[in-house]
Amino acid sequence: MKNPNCGCCGVWVERMREAGFIVNVQEMADTSEVASAAGIPANLRSCHTAKVEGYAIEGHVPAEDIRTLIALKPDAVGLAVPGMPLGSPGMEVPGRAETYQVVLVAKDGNHRVFATHKGTADAHVH
C-alpha cells in the first residue's frame, strides 16, 4: 500500500522490481491502518507498507534485507525502516546519504536492529 502522491514509494517499487521481486501496487491516501493491521508500531512507520511471504515490509527496506528475512524465516511481523532516510532505496539524493537501520519487528511490538546501512543507495540496486 502506498500513497498515490508519494514519489519515493514509486521509486522503492522500481528498486524492488529491479531486484527481481514481483510487485503489485495498491494506492490509498492513508496507509496507517494497513501498517497497524500488519503489526507495525506507530514509531516504526514510514510512507508505504508491503507484504512479502507473510511478512510486513515497512518503508524503504533494501531488497537484500528482504531476501535475508525470507531465508531466515524468523517468527516476526517483518522489517521496517522508520521514516524516510536519505540514501535508502527510493530515497536516493545525489551527494546526500544517511546511515540508517532496518529493524526486525517482533509480534509483541518490540524490535531490534536487523541491519545497518551506510546510505549508499547504489548498493541497493541489484
CA-based torsion, 50, 121, 85, 102: positive or negative:
positive
| Tens digits of pLDDT across the chain (126 residues) | 877 777 888 999 999 999 999 999 998 888 889 999 999 999 999 989 999 999 999 999 999 999 999 999 999 999 999 999 999 999 998 888 889 999 999 999 899 999 999 865 454 443
pLDDT of residue 90: 92
Q: What share of the chain is helix, strand, coil (3-state, %, to 5)?
A: 30, 25, 45
Q: pTM for this one?
A: 0.90
Task: State residue 51 phi and psi, 5-degree precision.
Answer: -125, 130
Contact 48, 80 (CB under 8 A): no
**What is the CB-side half-sphere exposure of residue 33 using CA atoms within 13 A?**
5
Residue 67 φ/ψ region, left for φ over 0, alpha for ψ in the -120 to 50 degree band, beta for the rest:
alpha
pLDDT of residue 124: 45
Residue 121 grid cell: 543507495
